[in-house]
Amino acid sequence: MTAPFVALALSLAVAQAVPAPEAKGSLPSPAKAPAESVKQWATEVAGMFMSGKLDGIAARFDPRLATLLSPEAFKDGWVGIEAKNGKLKSIGAPVLKDAGPLDIAVMAAAFEKVEWTLGVAFDVQGRITSLRFTPMSPNAAANAPPPVEYRAPPYAEPKKFRDSAVKFGDEKWPLPGTISMPAGKGPFPGVVLVHGSGPLDQDETVGGTKVFRDLAWGLASQGIAVLRYDKRTRVHGDKVGSAPMTVKDEVIDDALAAVATLRQTPGVNPRRIAVLGHSLGGYLVPRIAAADKHLAGVIALAGSTRPVHELIQDQLDYLVENGAAREEDVAPMRADAAAIQAIDPAKTPPAGRVMGAPPSYWLDLKSYKPAVLAHLNAIPILVLQGGRDYQVTSKDLDGWKKELAGDKFATFKVFPRANHFFVYGEGKSLPVEVMKPGNVDGEVVQTIAKWVKGLPPAK
C-alpha cells in the first residue's frame, strides 16, 4: 500500500514528483499542520538548501520518503541539478498552496542559469513528505530531464473499445470515473477496479506505471467492460483527513457504489460483474463480496492475508537488507507497526493516530481474515501473485492457499518476473523500480480476461 494522502517523493535525479511505492499499513493522514508552522518549516528547509546542509534536509524526511530517497541518492541528485543549472543563488519566501489534505509551501528557487519553483510538504510533526522542483522558464524546461511518459501497452487496441466519463456516489462523496466499454452490442461481463492505499487516481498512477489504465484498456480490448475511478481520499482529501474512518468508509462503500453503477450501465450484463482489487483492494475484495451477494467473482492482485504489523516489519527488513533504506530511517515505521500490534480490542483504544489512522481503523482490521472470509463467501476468486513482489509476498499467497485449499471456486497463479504492480523485470525489486515507465504484462491481462469471461452468471 502507498504512503498517506501526499504519497509524493522527489527523485532529484529526474527532477519530478512521483507517488511513493506502496507500503502496507499507510492510511489517511491527520489534519493539516498549522499554516504558520508549514511556513516556518519551509523557511528552515530553504535555509539548509542555501547553506548546503543536505544531511539536515534528509534527516527531516518522513520515513516513507526516506525509504524511497536515501540521503546518498538525494545528495547525488542535487549535485546533478546544480551541474546542469548552476549553483543555487536564492530561495524566496514560502507561499502556501492548498492541495486538499495538506498545504504545500511553494518557493521561487533561482539557480545561476534558470529559475525553478521548490514545493515542500510536511506532516503534522514537521517531517518532509515530499519535495518537488519544477521549471519556471523555458531554459529550465530545456535543461530538465524528460518526464516519465506513459505509453499504452500493445494489448490495448483503441478501435475495440471507447472510454466514457461517469460520476457516481452520494452527494457528500461524488467520484469521477471512466467506463471502458467494448465495441459492439453486448451484453458484456464487467469488472470494477479497486485501488491500493493512498490518494490514487483512477489509473492507479504510481511513478511510471498506470496499473488500472493498462488493465481497463487491456480487458476492454478483449470484450470486458471496466469501471475505474478516482479514490475518495484523492477527490475529497480535505474532508477525509481529519474524519474518523475504517476501510468501509475509505474503500468498501465506494467500491459497492461503483459496482452498482456498472451493473446499471447499458451493454453490461448485471449478473456477470467481478471486482478486481490491487494491494489494499485485493486484501479487501472478500469484504466487498460479503457486502454484495450478487457479484460473479472477485480477483485479488497482490492481496495480503497477514496482520498489518507483520507485513510492515517484513517490508522494512527487505528494504534494509537490500540497501534501499537504513535502519535508522525505518525505525519510526517499526515503532508504528509495534503500536498497531499493541492495540487491544479488549481495552480502551489509545488516543491519537498511528500511521495517520485512528485506532478504530486498526481495530477493524485486527479481526479481519481475508482468506477465511473468501472461503465463507464461496464465490469464484482469482488470486494473482508477483514473484518479485516484496510488499505482498509468497507468505500471503500461502495464506490464501491454506484457507481455500479444496475450494473448487479458487484459482491461483504466480508470475515469477512480476513486481508489486505486475510489471515484469529481473533481479530483486526495489522502490526505485517504480519510477521507471512500465506496463502490466500482457500475460497477466490475458489471465484475468480468460477467467472473467469464463465466470458463470451470479445467482
pLDDT at 412 over 60: yes
pLDDT at 23: 36
**How sure is the predictor about 125, in pLDDT bands with cuts at 50, 70 and 90?**
confident
Domain of residue 219, CATH code: 3.40.50.1820
CA 285 vs CA 136, 188, 375, 405, 452: distances in Å: 44, 21, 12, 18, 15
- Residue 167 shares a structural domain with residue 262: yes
The DSSP code for 408 is T
**339-378 per-position pLDDT tens digit:** 899 988 888 777 777 776 778 888 889 889 999 999 999 9
Least confident of 92-96, 166-170, 262-266, 422-426: 92-96
- Residue 99 shares a structural domain with residue 182: no
CA distance 5 to 24: 14
pLDDT at 249 over 60: yes
pLDDT at 7: 24
pLDDT at 122 over 70: yes
Number of domains in the chain: 2
- Residue 129 shares a structural domain with residue 201: no
- Residue 148 within any structural domain of the chain: no
pLDDT at 428: 93
- Residue 69 within any structural domain of the chain: yes
- Residue 112 shares a structural domain with residue 171: no
pLDDT at 13: 26
- Residue 19 shares a structural domain with residue 121: yes
Range of the domain at 27: 8-143
- Residue 395 shares a structural domain with residue 290: yes
Least confident of 31-35, 138-142, 294-298, 366-370: 138-142
pLDDT at 355: 73
Domain of residue 58, CATH code: 3.10.450.590
Please give the residue that has the higher pLDDT: either 158 or 132.
158
- Residue 53 shares a structural domain with residue 124: yes
Boundary residue ending a domain (98, 114, 143): 143
Q: Phi-psi category of 183—alpha, beta or left, where left has phi over 0 and alpha has psi -120 to 50?
A: beta
- Residue 25 shares a structural domain with residue 62: yes
Boundary residue ending a domain (114, 143, 172): 143
- Residue 136 shares a structural domain with residue 76: yes
Mean pLDDT of 269-278: 98
- Residue 192 shares a structural domain with residue 102: no
Mean pLDDT of 429-454: 92
Phi and psi torsions of 243, nearest 5°: -90, 140
pLDDT at 57 over 70: yes
**How sure is the predictor about 32, in pLDDT bands with cuts at 50, 70 and 90?**
low
CA distance 422 to 440: 5
- Residue 270 shares a structural domain with residue 397: yes
The DSSP code for 424 is B
pLDDT at 45 over 60: yes
Residues marked active site are found at 279, 389, 420
